[in-house]
Chains A and B, each alone.
Chain A
Amino acid sequence: MSNPNKILFASSTKNLALVRDFIESKATSYGFDERSINQIILSVDEACTNIIKHAHHYDENKHIEMEIKFEKDQIIIIMNYKGKGFDPNDIKNPDMKEYFSKFKVGGLGVPIMKKFMNKIEYVHNNSEENSLTLFKSLQSQ
């Protein structure tokens, strides 16, 4: 039987809406409030957008596998993907004063994830396999 907490989707921005709906239904069922649900949805959207853009270069033949778990009162979102990955924890938050004074574009996905989630883990399994995991606990609401 297929796992209702797991989805596999083509690496396309077209699928972001589907991913957001999936996250919303799961986070709601775990008892998160509306504000936290919106934060989780946005963080996962940003994570997937980064994978689609930077690891897969918009190649719809590539895939992202997403699994949701709820353990010890926290939602755990695992994204497995192939390609060139990166650890969001290595990315320094931009200086927003400089960002605005220089009219910069992009680079805000990781700061959003870091702000809204409690923990981000990145594992580079072997030469091509990556796993990005986002955590948020019910207590952090």
Chain B
Amino acid sequence: MEEFSINKKQQDNITILSLNGFLDAHTSVELEKSFEEVLSEKNYKIVVNFEKLTYISSAGLGVFMAFIENARENSGDIKLCGMSEKIYNIFDMLGFPILFEIYKEEKSAIEKFS
């Protein structure tokens, strides 16, 4: 299995990052770089699709915490979608739904920006 990759696509002014594989302390560096790139291009409306993500540790969670303030300060957001029950449970156990909007479908996350 591929360890980790990110597919990036643009839909109008929304950037969609689809994650594949596992997100741990090793691979989270790659996601950090993607966020830095997207935000430096002044794209602040971001949807992250977890459908093909098989695993996340706290290092992965930290990436979302590191960039959400920047996105929101610029009238954007990082909205999450497509999580398996296993991954949602980690987010939920730590209380992440307090800060992050989490949707089942990518379509719903995109619609919330319009």
Contacts and interface: CB of A to CB of B under 8 A. Distances in A.
A42 B25 contact: no
23 contacts: A14-B26, A16-B25, A16-B26, A16-B57, A17-B3, A17-B24, A41-B55, A45-B57, A49-B25, A52-B25, A96-B95, A96-B98, A97-B95, A99-B95, A100-B95, A100-B96, A104-B65, A105-B65, A106-B58, A106-B62, A108-B58, A108-B94, A111-B94
Interface residues of A, number: 27
A14 B58 CA distance: 16
A84 interface: no
Nearest to B100: A100
B26 A109 contact: no
Interface in A100-117: 100, 103-106, 108-109, 111-112, 115
A22 B66 CA distance: 31
Interface in B66-114: 66, 68-69, 86, 90, 93-96, 98-99
B57 A42 contact: yes
Point out which of B59, B62, B86, B98 has the most chain A C-beta atoms below 10 A from its C-beta: B59
B24 A96 contact: no
Closest 10 CB pairs of A and B: A13-B26, A108-B58, A96-B95, A100-B99, A13-B25, A49-B25, A103-B69, A105-B65, A105-B62, A109-B58
